[in-house]
Amino acid sequence: MKKRKLGKSGLEVSALGLGCMGMSFGYGPPKDKPEMISLLRSAVERGVTFFDTAEVYGPFTNEELVGEALAPFRGQVVIATKFGFDLSPHLDPRGMKGAPGLNSRPEHIKQAVEGSLKRLKVDSIDLLYQHRVDLNVPIEDVAGTVKELIQQGKVKHFGLSEAGAKTIRRAHAVQPVAALQSEYSLWTRTPEKEVIPTIEELGIALVPYSPLGKGFLTGKMNEKTKFDSSDFRSTLPRFTPDALKANQALVDLLGKIARRKKASPAQIALAWLLAQKPWIVPIPGTTKISRLDENSGAVEVELTSDDLREIDGASSMIKVQGARYPEKLEQMTGR
């Protein structure tokens, strides 16, 4: 697996990471724990060194899974986790319909970090993201708290998730931001307007989550696809039958390029992201070894400048239907 540097942070990771959320949260019932431990260890064997989790996934169970699975590989892997939600016992197990409120107060961040350190079985968190910007707490206070935790050796690098350009600048002025995690793919290109130019200027990496459009860009769905009520895609405007049907044009485009390149639509979607900037590290999630291998193969897919022009030209003619999130969750992004 090729390596990439996360901006100017000096943190080197595999060119593709692994998003771990779906193993225990969000996409239907939690998966079998021994199977997921095996999958995580198989990822390490295949050269993946960058793993993404958060305390809200479960809540807590995903960090525990990642901590247990990766315990034998301390020092060889980079684990990123996130704080920023108020996790009460009343949290809806899907974590979406009854989404918890935000809490990035300094004392809460410190408390969250102590919990994450225990669950991940580490002495220091490699990359700690604020999961969503909390408008009730100045970002300078958040960055300052993480700076303290870095000075104490409990955290190594600071990240933000779904933050807007102004917030990124303000945070970076207090404590350098290593990476910004945001949804970015051929069907979610919002970061291109302001965020990508800002982080390029500041030397911050981009870690796209849902780089395969929550599974849609793999070409394995259509308007007849049904989602279990415990699958949060059942609540997303972009996954209604009408939206899935309208957005199929994007999958058809990927399929056309994939046939020419003897690759899969998923590999083209990931290769397109990797071709955008050398400091972009997508984190596709999966619960299957076959998909892990397929995704890893994207690193070897070479898209020429003609391929990229064709993809950009054709995709610019396709208007993506449906919002990414229900309104309450959408309001937590890009601020």
Which residues are part of the catalytic machinery? Answer: 57
How far apart are alpha carbons 263 and 257 in whole angstroms? 8
Among residues 66, 9, 74, the alpha carbon closest in space to that of 40 is found at 66
**Amino acid, res. 288:** K
DSSP one-letter string for 256-299: HHHHHHTS-HHHHHHHHHHHH-TTB----B-S-HHHHHHHHGGG
Distance CA 88, CA 103 (A): 11
Phi-psi region of 82 (alpha: psi -120 to 50; beta: other; left: phi over 0): beta
- Tell me the sheet residues that pair with 182: 208
